């Protein structure tokens, strides 16, 4: 379970909804810093408050060399850690902000090993954020705009509450929360109103949204995340019924879905159910063609049970039993062979819609590369090489190709194939975002350049390793030793 979040400016609203609607000085600080570095996504659609804060931070930087230096340091970090999206994505910083405490320390509330991977990737921004907060007097800016933030929180309380209430009413769910769970919506007007970031960390669910100039909030994404919040605990009590459905995963291997949905039957089932609920609640009953198109698109993305659930919900709507008691029957009534036959006839789309919600790494199933790492650690280089090569061949995106190249590079070094190792380490550097893999790829490259007597190139690699954002002592020590003296391989005794 995630630790405490960045402290809100005041307590939640009276408990008239399961959702907490919050604002946060931590989010404000990080968002203000990124805006000053050129984060412009959705700027023209944002509230004027966003441009006002940007101007105030710029004024602080112009009047104070310390503020300018603190701002520039964060900007260099941001540019060096850009994900390969081409749009200045700040999703990693959103993940991190959810796990940072309040200013001025912004201390992580979880051990680094327990942070989600994207948050860990940018963890190195934390000390830079501390300096920026002090040098640019961000605390004073927050105090100046706090009333506006509170006003927004009041303004959007009822719309968010209505979405939750309407969903509960449709599903006939009790008012009480699930024990140990939280559903929190953060408002941050310095972020783009064109997208929402949703996260699931353990049993906690978060949505970070920004209101736009049109006075609208991304309520569909809030509803979608809330449906995960209420449905995923139900899956925990129906493991046997879900296990029965696992063969259908074989029929969606070529679907454009994220791999997690193709490996975990509970994720695929619940996402299919959520899409069916959205079709029946978000699209008017009079627009049956639009509903059918929404269902068909979901099926083509690989959520092949959406059609079944859409039809089954028609009977659910006529009854009086709530989803908590109906969930098991919905699973039990699935004709697996019929649904598999229907799934095999689907022509899958070229790509799936972007995911609304991301899960923490604590709940990710072991991957092929995890197994490859284990094989390599046990000395079974042949098995490790086979698994890593398979991942590279299929190139499923994300960090996997880079991790695979990193494994293959280490295998090559064990065989004395330095040029092959250098090419693989360079591929890892060019494609991976995990700070530890990135740092050690640079360290290994530095050692190879030292062996080849190219000291200048080696020093550049060791410096890049220190800047990669991995704070483990062994990483820092190896990079610093490389800077102090050329690497000397150990000679066999």
Of 361, 380, 411, the last residue of a domain is: 361
* Residue 15, C-beta contacts closer than 8 angstroms, at least 6 positions apart: none
Average pLDDT, the chain: 87
User: Where is average pLDDT lowest: 142-146, 328-332, 439-443, 475-479?
Assistant: 475-479
261 in a domain, yes or no?
A: yes
Q: Classify 488 as helix, strand or coil.
A: coil
Between 279 and 235, name the one with better pLDDT. Answer: 279
pTM of structure:
0.70
- 346 with 473, same domain: the answer is no
210 in a domain, yes or no?
A: no
424 in a domain, yes or no?
A: yes
| Domain limits for position 383 | 364-484
From residue 474, alpha-carbon distances to 79, 221, 389 in Å are: 25, 41, 28
- Taking 3-state DSSP, the helix, strand and coil percentages for the chain, each rounded to the nearest 5, stand at 60, 5, 30
Number of domains in the chain: 3
Tens digit of pLDDT for each residue in 2-15? 322 333 333 333 34
Maximum CA extent, the chain: 81
- 323 with 390, same domain: the answer is no
Tens digit of pLDDT for each residue in 292-347? 999 999 999 999 999 999 999 999 999 999 999 999 999 999 999 999 999 999 99
419 in a domain, yes or no?
A: yes
Nearest to 470 by CA among 433, 419, 445, 444: 433
* Residue 217, C-beta contacts closer than 8 angstroms, at least 6 positions apart: 156, 159, 160, 209, 211
Nearest to 190 by CA among 389, 41, 357: 41
Cβ density class 122-154: b for 16+ within 10 Å, e for less: bbbbbebbbbbbebbebeebbeebeeebeebbe
36 in a domain, yes or no?
A: yes
Between 446 and 365, name the one with better pLDDT. Answer: 446
- 327 with 372, same domain: the answer is no
C-alpha span between 243 and 35 (Å, rounded): 47
Of 329, 361, 393, the last residue of a domain is: 361
Residue 368 Cα to chain centre, angstroms: 20
* Residue 467, C-beta contacts closer than 8 angstroms, at least 6 positions apart: 80
Of 309, 326, 361, the last residue of a domain is: 361
Tens digit of pLDDT for each residue in 54-108? 999 999 999 999 999 999 999 999 988 876 444 457 889 999 999 999 999 999 9
215 in a domain, yes or no?
A: no
Q: Are 5 and 24 in contact (CB under 8 A)?
A: yes
Q: Is the dihedral of CA 439, 445, 450, 454 positive or negative?
A: negative
DSSP for 98-134? TTB-STTT--BSS-GGGS-HHHHHTTTHHHHHHHHHH
* Residue 315, C-beta contacts closer than 8 angstroms, at least 6 positions apart: none
- 28 with 145, same domain: the answer is yes
- 274 with 139, same domain: the answer is no
- C-alpha Rg value of the chain to the nearest Å: 25
Q: What is the pLDDT of residue 433?
A: 79
- 351 with 468, same domain: the answer is no
Tens digit of pLDDT for each residue in 256-275? 998 889 989 999 999 999 99
- 151 with 254, same domain: the answer is no
Judging by DSSP bridges, how do beta strands 197-201 and 204-209 pair with one another?
Answer: antiparallel
Q: What is the pLDDT of residue 491?
A: 53
Q: Which two tokens stand for residue 144?
A: 């100046």
- 357 with 371, same domain: the answer is no
- 343 with 387, same domain: the answer is no
Tens digit of pLDDT for each residue in 437-469? 899 999 999 999 999 999 999 999 999 999 988
From residue 409, alpha-carbon distances to 146, 362, 372, 396 in Å are: 51, 27, 13, 19
Output the domain CATH number for residue 368. 1.25.40.10
Q: Which two tokens stand for residue 406?
A: 């990193």
- 59 with 139, same domain: the answer is yes
- 269 with 128, same domain: the answer is no
C-alpha span between 477 and 483 (Å, rounded): 10
- 258 with 117, same domain: the answer is no
C-alpha span between 412 and 405 (Å, rounded): 10
């Amino acid at each position: 379970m995630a630790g405490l979040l960045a402290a809100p400016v005041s307590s939640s609203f009276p408990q008239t909804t399961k959702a907490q609607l919050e604002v946060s000085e931590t989010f404000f600080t990080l968002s203000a810093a990124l805006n000053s570095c050129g984060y412009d996504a959705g700027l023209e659609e944002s509230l004027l408050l966003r441009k006002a804060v940007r101007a105030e931070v710029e004024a602080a930087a112009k009047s104070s060399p310390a503020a300018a230096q603190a701002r520039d340091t964060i900007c260099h970090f941001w540019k060096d850690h850009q994900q390969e999206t081409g749009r200045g994505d700040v999703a990693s910083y959103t993940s991190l902000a959810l796990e940072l405490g309040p200013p001025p320390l912004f201390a992580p509330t979880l051990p680094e090993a327990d942070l989600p991977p994207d948050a860990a990737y940018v963890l190195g921004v934390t000390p830079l954020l501390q300096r920026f907060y002090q040098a640019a007097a961000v605390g004073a800016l927050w105090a100046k705009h706090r009333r506006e933030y509170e006003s927004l929180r009041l303004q959007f309380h009822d719309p968010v509450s209505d979405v939750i209430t309407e969903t509960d009413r449709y599903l006939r769910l009790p008012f009480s929360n699930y024990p140990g769970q939280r559903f929190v919506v953060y408002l941050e007007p310095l972020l783009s109103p064109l997208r929402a970031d949703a996260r699931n960390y353990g049993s906690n669910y978060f949505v970070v949204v920004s209101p736009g100039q049109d006075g609208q909030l991304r309520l569909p994404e809030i509803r979608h995340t809330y449906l995960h919040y209420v449905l995923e605990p139900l899956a925990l009590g129906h493991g046997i019924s879900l296990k029965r459905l696992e063969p259908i995963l074989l029929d969606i291997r070529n679907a454009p879905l994220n791999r997690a949905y193709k490996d975990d039957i509970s994720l695929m089932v619940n996402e299919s159910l959520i899409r069916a609920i959205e079709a029946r609640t978000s699209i008017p009953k009079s627009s049956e063609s639009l509903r059918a198109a929404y269902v068909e698109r979901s099926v083509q993305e690989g959520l092949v049970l959406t059609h079944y659930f859409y039809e089954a919900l028609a009977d659910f709507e006529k009854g009086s039993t709530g989803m908590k008691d109906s969930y098991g029957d919905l699973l039990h009534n699935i004709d697996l062979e019929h649904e598999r036959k229907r799934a095999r006839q689907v022509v899958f789309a070229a790509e799936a819609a972007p995911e609304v919600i991301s899960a923490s790494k604590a709940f990710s199933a072991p991957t092929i590369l995890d197994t490859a790492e284990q094989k390599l650690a046990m000395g079974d280089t042949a098995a490790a090489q086979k698994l890593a090569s398979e991942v590279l061949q299929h190139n499923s995106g994300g960090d996997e190709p880079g991790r695979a190249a990193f494994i293959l590079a280490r295998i090559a070094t064990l065989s004395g194939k330095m040029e092959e190792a250098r090419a693989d380490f360079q591929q890892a550097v060019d494609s991976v975002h995990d700070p530890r893999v990135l740092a050690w790829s640079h360290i290994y490259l530095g050692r190879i350049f030292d062996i080849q007597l190219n000291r200048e190139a080696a020093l550049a690699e060791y410096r890049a390793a220190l800047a990669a954002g991995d704070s483990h002592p062994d990483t820092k020590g190896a990079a610093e030793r490389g800077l102090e003296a050329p690497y000397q391989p150990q000679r066999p005794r």
